[in-house]
Amino acid sequence: MASFKISDELIGRIETLIEEKNNHELTQLLGDLHYADIAEIIHELAIKDGVYIIRLIDAEKTSDVLTELDDDYRDKILENLSAKEIADELIELDTDDAVDIISELSEERKTEVISYIEDVEHAKDIVELLRYDDNTAGGLMAKELVKVNENWNVLKCVKEMREQAAYVTRVHSIYVVDDHDVLKGRLSLKDLLTTSTRSEVKDIYIPKVDYVYVTDTAEEVAHIMSKYDLEAIPVVDEMKRLVGRITIDDIVDVIKEGAEKDYQLAAGITNDVEADDSVWKLTLARLPWLLIGMFGGLGAASIINGFQDAMNKYPILLIFIPLIQATAGNVGVQSSAIVVQGLANNTIDGAIIKRLLKEFLLGLINGGTIAGIVILVSHFAFQAEYLVSITVAIALVTVIVNAAVIGTFIPILLHKRGIDPAVATGPFITTSNDVLGILIYFFIAKNILGF
């Protein structure tokens, strides 16, 4: 299947149809498309046209479209819909998706929307989910699941399940609970279909079941589900009562967003931005890191300025500043990226000291290689004095070892203190290594050349 591609023609045609209010043709055209594709199209339209489409098409389809829209764009669409219209969309959705959509509304508006949801159970579930933090198992889970009581027999199970399944898009597992709703285990559909209808659930269920607590972080849930290849996992509260279920498609989003966030942090972009965002939003996300880099650069300037003597006596030292700086930056980013990824994958264990020693050794090997080449180039190509070449070589090795050790140490330290280690990657580590690298360079030069 070729991946769906939006053409400018398609967008143009849809805009014309909206202008002409040709609802018949518009419904037909969009009716054939997947909701994810309609969402892609809407992103290319003006808000008022997006609202037009949402109003035109059945809530059954547009509710899914809404879940696919970018938060910013969706909030603008919602501003143009009445509370009743929003409620009609929510009714079509699983509780987790419904909560995602209304979580950004004002308290007042939320209350109004919920008052329009006639199905009291659905409304109750949404209100319950609203109180969980976005970034926890509670914030990810849906209330829709299939559960049976351990005291039921198979016949009753099948009957009850049929009813419950009507509300559940995909039945992954049948969970078994006791009279207090405490999670006891799970039932396989196969067993259920092949055992006598008189068997009791408590005799056939599988007591071994993976679960997470409502307060577990989204990252923990993602780690467990992907490690154990689970397609769904039940969520329990502090009393181990079954309160919800998380499915793998939500986890795919968590994994993608987590990877994107780390990537952006490493590249020095603070907010979650996309290429299509406004210049203003992109500036807000990019300028802060550039300013940090700027202060680093000014710091470096004042260090160099402080070594006026060196500048006068050995001007050739200055031509190697970019080399020292670039090398320090590159090594620091490499080291920190490996650690950050290891922390994200839970593969960093054992003593810190052992890891730092390893980076030290790595730094010596890489530094030695680079210093060796540079000493030759500096001697033959730049005709540098013997002692100057030695200075540059020793500085390079020191700077590389230092950057490797710092790049490894800082993320581990942040992680231990409960801070996301990814903030220590990118410009932050580059800038500090830049400044430190130049300081080391001049310090070594001063000692060897003695100015």
For residues 101 to 130, the per-residue mask of contacts with a copy of itself, x marking binding by CB under 8 A and - elsewhere, is ------------------------------
How many residues in the chain? 451
Contact call for residue 339 and a copy of itself (CB under 8 A): yes
What is the smallest separation between the CB atom of 274 and a copy of itself, expressed in angstroms?
Answer: 6
Q: Which is nearer to a copy of itself, 13 or 286 (CB)?
A: 286
Contact call for residue 293 and a copy of itself (CB under 8 A): yes
Contact call for residue 100 and a copy of itself (CB under 8 A): no
Tokens of 147: 């559960």
Query: Looking only at residues 126 through 145 of this chain, which bind a copy of itself when binding is defined by CB under 8 A?
Result: none
Contact call for residue 358 and a copy of itself (CB under 8 A): yes
What is the smallest separation between the CB atom of 271 and a copy of itself, expressed in angstroms?
Answer: 11
Contact call for residue 425 and a copy of itself (CB under 8 A): yes
Contact call for residue 223 and a copy of itself (CB under 8 A): yes
CA 15 to each of CA 18, 54, 74, 239: distance values in angstroms, whole numbers, following the listed order? 5, 14, 19, 54
Task: Report the alpha-carbon distance of residue 377 to residue 383 in Å, rounded.
Answer: 9
Member of 355, 391, 421, 440 binding a copy of itself (CB under 8 A):
355
Residue 13 has a CB neighbour count (10 Å cut-off) of: 14
Contact call for residue 153 and a copy of itself (CB under 8 A): no
What is the smallest separation between the CB atom of 127 and a copy of itself, expressed in angstroms?
Answer: 25
Q: Which is nearer to a copy of itself, 25 or 231 (CB)?
A: 231
Contact call for residue 294 and a copy of itself (CB under 8 A): yes
Member of 46, 290, 352, 419 binding a copy of itself (CB under 8 A):
290
The stretch among 12-20, 23-31, 144-152, 354-362 that binds a copy of itself (CB under 8 A) is: 354-362
Contact call for residue 155 and a copy of itself (CB under 8 A): no
Contact call for residue 311 and a copy of itself (CB under 8 A): yes
What is the smallest separation between the CB atom of 184 and a copy of itself, expressed in angstroms?
Answer: 15
Beta strands across the sheet bearing 146-149 = 146-149, 174-177, 183-187
Q: Which is nearer to a copy of itself, 206 or 291 (CB)?
A: 291
Q: Which is nearer to a copy of itself, 153 or 341 (CB)?
A: 341
The closest alpha carbon to 436, from 412, 413, 407, 414, belongs to: 407
Tokens of 176: 């078994």
Task: Report the alpha-carbon distance of residue 405 to residue 362 in Å, rounded.
Answer: 10
Contact call for residue 210 and a copy of itself (CB under 8 A): yes
Task: Report the alpha-carbon distance of residue 124 to residue 72 in Å, rounded.
Answer: 27
Amino acid at 185: G
Q: Which is nearer to a copy of itself, 130 or 311 (CB)?
A: 311
Rg of the chain over all Cα atoms, to the nearest angstrom: 30
The stretch among 82-90, 99-107, 126-134, 324-332 that binds a copy of itself (CB under 8 A) is: 324-332
Burial class (CB in 10 A: 0-12, 13-18, 19+), 273: middle
- Number of residues binding to a copy of itself, judged by CB under 8 A: 110
What is the smallest separation between the CB atom of 109 and a copy of itself, expressed in angstroms?
Answer: 27
What is the smallest separation between the CB atom of 49 and a copy of itself, expressed in angstroms?
Answer: 17
Contact call for residue 69 and a copy of itself (CB under 8 A): no
Query: Looking only at residues 395 through 424 of this chain, which bind a copy of itself when binding is defined by CB under 8 A?
Result: 400
Member of 33, 56, 81, 273 binding a copy of itself (CB under 8 A):
273
Q: Which is nearer to a copy of itself, 53 or 304 (CB)?
A: 304
What is the smallest separation between the CB atom of 81 and a copy of itself, expressed in angstroms?
Answer: 24
Q: Which is nearer to a copy of itself, 118 or 349 (CB)?
A: 349
Q: Which is nearer to a copy of itself, 53 or 324 (CB)?
A: 324
Amino acid at 145: L
Q: Which is nearer to a copy of itself, 113 or 429 (CB)?
A: 429
Contact call for residue 330 and a copy of itself (CB under 8 A): yes
Tokens of 87: 């409620």
Contact call for residue 323 and a copy of itself (CB under 8 A): yes
What is the smallest separation between the CB atom of 83 and a copy of itself, expressed in angstroms?
Answer: 27
Paired with 232 in beta bridges are 247
